[in-house]
Structure 1
Amino acid sequence: MTAKPRTGILLLNMGGPSTLDEVHSFLFRLFTDRDLMRLPWQQRLAPWIARRRTPAIKEQYRQIGGGSPILKWTNFQGERMAALLDEKCPESAPHKAYVAFRYAAPLTETAMGQIMQDGVQRVVAFTQYPQYSCSTTGSSMNELYRQQQKLDPEGKVRWSVIDRWPTHAGLIQALAERVQAKLDEYPVDERHKAVILFSAHSLPMSIVTRGDSYPIEVSATAEAVMARLNHSNPYRVVWQSKVGPLPWLGPAPDTALKGLAKQGHRNVVLVPIAFTSDHIETLFELDKEYGHLAQELGIDGFKRAEALNGSSTFIRAMADVVSEHLAKGESISTQFKMRCFLCPNEQCATTRNFFAGNKFPTSPATNKAG
C-alpha cells in the first residue's frame, strides 16, 4: 500500500490540450482569463475569438502529433522530483507531485480535489515558469487562491509558494547542457560562429510598462547560461508568440532571423528559455515556422535546442529548489510580496496576503536536509 503523502508539491503551469477535442475549451479559458489579458467586452468577445481560432490551432496540434506533450513531461518530471525529495528530505516525506494547469486538464480545481482527498496538510505551490510574470504565475496563483477558498474554506492545507527561480544553479546548468549539445553538432571550426537566440513568450507592452518583472528575469537567465558557457558565442533574447495588433515586447524571432541572414550569419541556435518542456510553441512555432523561415533565408546551420523535458539535471534542480525552499521555512518570497507598480487587479493583493499568512518554522532537521 502506498504511504499517505506528507508533503505535496503542486506544479503550476499553463498546460495544453492533450487531444484535439480539448483545443476549444483550452482557448476559451485562455481568452477569458483577465489576469492574462483585459479586453473590451471580454465575456462576449473571448468566446468568439476562441471559436474563430480553434480550427487553425487544431491544425497546428495535428501537425505535432494530435495534442500537447506538456502533461506527459510534467508528470514525468514531478514523479522523479518527488522520489529525489524523499531521499533528500526524509523528515517531510513521503512527497507527492500534483499538476495544476491553468487552461487545460488537470485544472487547478482537480488538483485541489486530489490534495484534499489525499489528506495532505502541507503543500508547496511550485511554479514551472522559472521567470515570474503576473500573466502566468500570477494568474495561476490567483486561481489557486480562488479554488482554495471554494474547496478548503477551513484552511486545512498550509501553503507556501515558490514563485520564481530564474537563476537557480541547477536550472542554468540544465539549460547550458541543452545549448552545448547543439553547439557540439557544428564542425569545430564553425562552432564559435553560431549565434544563440534565447526565445521566451512575449508580453503585451501594457503589462511590461506597469512593472512586470518577467523581461529582466528572462534576461538574467540568458546571461547566467552564457556565463556558464564562458560566453563562448554571441547571443540575444527574442520574444515569440505575439497575438493581436497591440504592441508586444520584441524583437520577434522572425525579425532576428531576417536580420542575421542579411548580416551573413549561417549558424543559429534557437533556445526555448522560459519553457520547461516541449509544447506547441516549441514543436510548431520554433521548429516548423521559424525552422522553415531560416531555411528560406539561407540559414542552413539553423538548430533548435531541446526543451528541458526529461533532463536529469533539470529534475535534480527541481528537487533542489523545493528542498532549499523547505529549509528556509518561508511562506512567500520577498519578490512575491510586491505587486506591479500599476497593478490593475486587487485580487493580486488578496492572493499575496493569504499565502503570506502561512507560517513555517525552520527546523534543524530541515536545514540539514537542505
Structure 2
Amino acid sequence: MANNKTAVVLLNLGGPDSLDAVQSFLFNLFCDPDIFKIPIGQKLFAKLISSLRSKKVREEYKLIGGNSPINYWTEIQREKLQKKLKSHSDDIFVFTAMRYWNPLIKDVANEIQKGNFKKVILLPLYPHYSITTTGSSFNEWFRYYYVNKDVLKIHNYHTNKKYIEAINARIDESLELFDDQIKKDVQLVFSAHGTPISLVKKGDPYSHQIKETINAVMKARNYSHEFNICFQSKVGPMKWLEPSTDKMIEKLATENKKHLLVIPISFVSDHVETLYELNIEYRHIAEKSGIENYIVMNGLNDSDIFVDALYELVMNELK
C-alpha cells in the first residue's frame, strides 16, 4: 500500500504558558543564534539577560491574564486547518511547532521523523519572511530533522488574497466600533514588529514585504481611509525601523487626528505585543497625547478566512 502521509507543520514563536515559564521562555529566545549572534558564551549571556528581564516581562504577562494566548490561538488555527484538510484527504496531519516554547520544534521534528511521512510542509505563521522568524524556525527544524524525505518550505504569503481579505474583514469589524459620524475620519495605523536597520541592509526582505501587504490591503479597500505605517517592540541601543508606533501616535495627535484604529500587521494571533504593548502601554501614550478614540484591532486569531489562506497554501504545495 502506497504511503501518501503528509505532515503540515505550523511554525510559530510560542509563548510562556504561565508566569513561572517566563524566564525559561526568554532564555530560549536569547539562545537563538539567528537573532543574537554571540560567538562564545551565548548560554551564559542568555541566562543573564533572561534573569534581568524576566521581572518586567512577568508583569506584562500578569496584565494580560498570566500567560501567552499565542499558544491557544495557534491550536485553534491548527484544529481548523486539520478539519479543512481532512475533507480533502485522511493522509494529511497538522502539527504545531514552536520556536521558543512547547511544543518545541526539536520535539516535533523528532516525532515526525518517527512517523513515516512521505512529505513534510513547513508552514510558518509569519506571513512575512525574516531571518529572525521564519529563517530561524527553518534553521532550527533542520538541526533536528534528518530524514531524506521531501520537505517543502513556504517562505512567505504576505500578498495572498485570502490573507489580505482576512485582514480587511478584521478592519471592517473594528471600524464598526467607532461612532458613525467619525468613521470616515479614522486613521488606520498599521503597526508591525520592528527589526534592526542592520538586517534591512543585509537584505532581509521583511520590511519591504510589510509595505507590500499594507499596499495590498489599502488597494483592496479602495483607499477607504488615510493610513500610516509604523514599527513597535524595539529593544537595545541599535537603530531600528522607523517611525516607531509611539512616536506615530504622538505625531497624529499633534496633527489633530484624534481617532485611531491600530492594526497589528505582522502578527496572525494576539499575544503580549498586541495585548500589552499596543493595548495597554501605547494606550497610555494615546490618552496623554489627547487621542479621543483609540482602538486596537483583534488579531486574526480564529478567522476562518485566514484558515482558508493556510488551506490554499498547503493545497498549492500538494499539487
Do these two structures clear the TM 0.5 threshold for a shared fold by scoring above it? yes
Give aligned-pair identity as a percent: 36
Instruction: Please tell me whether residue 112 in structure 1 is matched to residue 104 in structure 2.
Output: no
Q: 1:142 aligns with which of 139, 144, 160?
A: 139
Aligned to 1:199: 191
**Cα distance in 2 for residues equivalent to 1:184 and 1:113:** 46
Alignment of 1:144-163 (within 5 A): 144-149=141-146, 152=147, 155=148, 157-163=149-155
2:110·2:145 contact (CA, 8 Å) conserved in 1?
no
Instruction: Please tell me whether residue 30 in structure 1 is matched to residue 29 in structure 2.
Output: yes
Aligned to 1:13: 12
Instruction: Please tell me whether residue 65 in structure 1 is matched to residue 65 in structure 2.
Output: yes
1:81·1:318 contact (CA, 8 Å) conserved in 2?
yes
**Cα distance in 1 for residues equivalent to 2:4 and 2:269:** 26
**Cα distance in 2 for residues equivalent to 1:32 and 1:172:** 34
**Cα distance in 1 for residues equivalent to 2:8 and 2:119:** 9
**Cα distance in 2 for residues equivalent to 1:98 and 1:12:** 9
CA deviations 1:5-33 (Å, max 9, x no partner) are 92111011111111112111111111121
Deviation at 1:148, TM superposition (A): 0.8
Aligned to 1:79: 79
CA deviations 1:330-356 (Å, max 9, x no partner) are xxxxxxxxxxxxxxxxxxxxxxxxxxx
Q: Which amino acid aligns with 2:62?
A: R
CA deviations 1:81-111 (Å, max 9, x no partner) are 1221222x33xx3322111111111111111
Instruction: Please tell me whether residue 98 in structure 1 is matched to residue 95 in structure 2.
Output: yes
**Cα distance in 2 for residues equivalent to 1:138 and 1:287:** 29
CA deviations 1:126-150 (Å, max 9, x no partner) are 011000001110010000010113x
Alignment of 1:198-347 (within 5 A): 198-327=190-319
1:201·1:241 contact (CA, 8 Å) conserved in 2?
yes
1:195·1:235 contact (CA, 8 Å) conserved in 2?
yes
**Cα distance in 2 for residues equivalent to 1:117 and 1:67:** 31
1:32·1:42 contact (CA, 8 Å) conserved in 2?
no
**Cα distance in 2 for residues equivalent to 1:324 and 1:19:** 37
Q: Which amino acid aligns with 1:110?
A: D
Deviation at 1:72, TM superposition (A): 1.2
Q: Which amino acid aligns with 2:33?
A: R
**Cα distance in 2 for residues equivalent to 1:39 and 1:262:** 42
1:79·1:96 contact (CA, 8 Å) conserved in 2?
no
Runs of 4+ in 1 over 4 A off after TM superposition: 39-42
Q: Which amino acid aligns with 2:94?
A: A
RMSD across aligned positions (CA):
1.6
2:113·2:145 contact (CA, 8 Å) conserved in 1?
no
Secondary structure, aligned partner of 1:192 = helix
Secondary structure, aligned partner of 2:8 = strand
- How many residues matched? 316
TM-score, L = length of structure 2: 0.95
1:261·1:297 contact (CA, 8 Å) conserved in 2?
yes
Deviation at 1:38, TM superposition (A): 2.4
Instruction: Return 5+ residue gaps in structure 2 as ranges.
Output: none
Deviation at 1:218, TM superposition (A): 0.5
TM-score, L = length of structure 1: 0.82
1:5·1:96 contact (CA, 8 Å) conserved in 2?
no
Deviation at 1:39, TM superposition (A): 4.6
